[in-house]
Chains A and B, each alone.
Chain A
Amino acid sequence: MSADALGMALTAGAVWTAAAVAAHFAIFHMVQVEHRARTLTLLFACAAFATWGMCLLLDVDRWRTLYGMSVVACAFLLYMPFYYTVAASQSVQLVIDIHAATDGLSLEEIRGRYPVDEILAGRFETLLWAGFVTERDGRFALTAKGRLTSRPFRAVKTLWRLGPGG
C-alpha cells in the first residue's frame, strides 16, 4: 500500500469536512433553519459520503477510504460541541447580555431577564418538540427516546460519582 493512498484519503476527508463547515455557515446564514442539529448532522453525513466517493474515484482501497471517512466523523465529534456552545450555552448568553448592557447587570436584573418559570417552560417545549417527553394534564413524562438518553447518563453519574449537576 502506498503512502499516497493514506494521504489522499485523509486529505479528502479534511477537504470535505471543510466543505461541510462552509456549507453550515452559508446555509444557516441564508435560511432560518428549523431542524438545526439534524441539518448539521446531514451536512457531515454528506461530507462522509463525498469522501467515500472521492476515494472511489482516486482508486483508494477500502481501508484508507474508511480512514478518510473517520476524519469526517472525528471532525463531527469536535464540531458539534463547539456549535452547541455557540447556539445553546446559557453561560454564553449571559456573557453576551452582560456585555450588551452599558453598565453591566445586577443580579436582580439578570434574574429579571431570565425568569426561571419561562426558561423551564421554553425548555419543556423544546423537549416536547424533540420527542424526549410527553405531556398529560400538565405533567411531563419521558418517552422511550427520553429514557434512552437519561439512563446511560444516570449510570455515568453514578460510575464517576458526579453530583446532581445541571
Chain B
Amino acid sequence: MKGLLLAGAGSLTCVLAVTLVFRAVTVSRRAAAMLHVFLATVPLYVAAYALTPGDLGWLPDRLVEQSAFVGGAFGLFVHAALFFGGWLQVYNLAERGFSLRILIDIDEAPGGALSADEEEARYGGGSGMRWMFDKRLEGLVSAGLVTRRAGRLVTTDKGARAARLFGGLRAFLRIDTPQ
C-alpha cells in the first residue's frame, strides 16, 4: 500500500508542479517540460520510499509489504503509468486533439452550434483547418521524420522506419478508417 500511496502523492506533486510551471512561465516545448518535471519526481519517490517506514507510521500490518523492492517497483510503475498514460495524454489531447478541438469550438460558438463550413474557418481559434495540417507537417520536420528536398517532403531514415512500423501495424490490425 505504501508504494501506491507514494505513487499517488508523486503524481499529484507532478501535476501541481506542471501547473505552477505552465502558469508562471511561457513554455515553448510543453511536453518536454512535463517530462522533466516527472523525471524530477522519480528520485523524490525513491527517496520517500527508502526513507519512510514500511507502515508509514499508521498503516495496519496487513497492508505492509514484506518485499520493499517489489512494493517500491510496483509504486514506481503506477507513478509512471499515471504520468505517461494520464497527465501527458491530457496535455496531448488538450493541445493537439482534432476531435476535441471541434467539440470545444462548438461549445464556445454563440448559440452552441456550428456548420461544417463555420468550423472549417473557426478551427484552432480561427486559424483554420489548413493551419492544422501545416502544424503537423512542421512537427514531422522538427521531429526529424520528414525533410524538404527540392520543394518536396520526403521521409528521413527515421521517418521511413516509423512509416514501415506504423503502416505494418495498421495493416495487421486492419485499420483503414479512423475512429
Q: What would 24 A/B residue contacts be, using CB atoms closer than 8 Å?
A: A1-B62, A1-B66, A25-B172, A67-B74, A74-B77, A75-B81, A77-B85, A77-B86, A88-B178, A96-B170, A98-B146, A99-B159, A99-B164, A116-B133, A139-B113, A153-B97, A153-B104, A154-B108, A159-B19, A159-B22, A162-B95, A165-B96, A165-B124, A166-B123
| A150 on the B face (CB < 8 A) | yes
Give B residues with C-beta under 8 Å from A: 1, 4, 18-19, 22-23, 26, 30, 61-67, 70-71, 74, 77-78, 81-82, 84-86, 89-104, 106-108, 112-116, 119-120, 123-127, 129-130, 132-133, 135-137, 139-140, 145-146, 149, 151-155, 159-160, 162-164, 166-167, 169-170, 172-175, 178-179
Main secondary structure of the interface of B (DSSP, over half): helix
Size of the A side of the interface (Cβ < 8 Å), in residues, is 83
- B152 smallest CB distance to A (angstroms): 4
Q: Are A132 and B85 in contact (CB under 8 A)?
A: no
Q: 8 Å CB contacts to B: which residues of A82-127?
A: 85-88, 90-92, 94-96, 98-100, 103-107, 110-111, 114, 116-117, 119-124, 126-127
A-to-B contact residues, CB < 8 Å: 1-3, 6-7, 10, 24-25, 28-29, 32-33, 36-37, 61, 63, 67, 70-71, 74-78, 80-81, 85-88, 90-92, 94-96, 98-100, 103-107, 110-111, 114, 116-117, 119-124, 126-127, 130, 132-133, 136, 138-142, 146-147, 149-151, 153-154, 156-157, 159-166
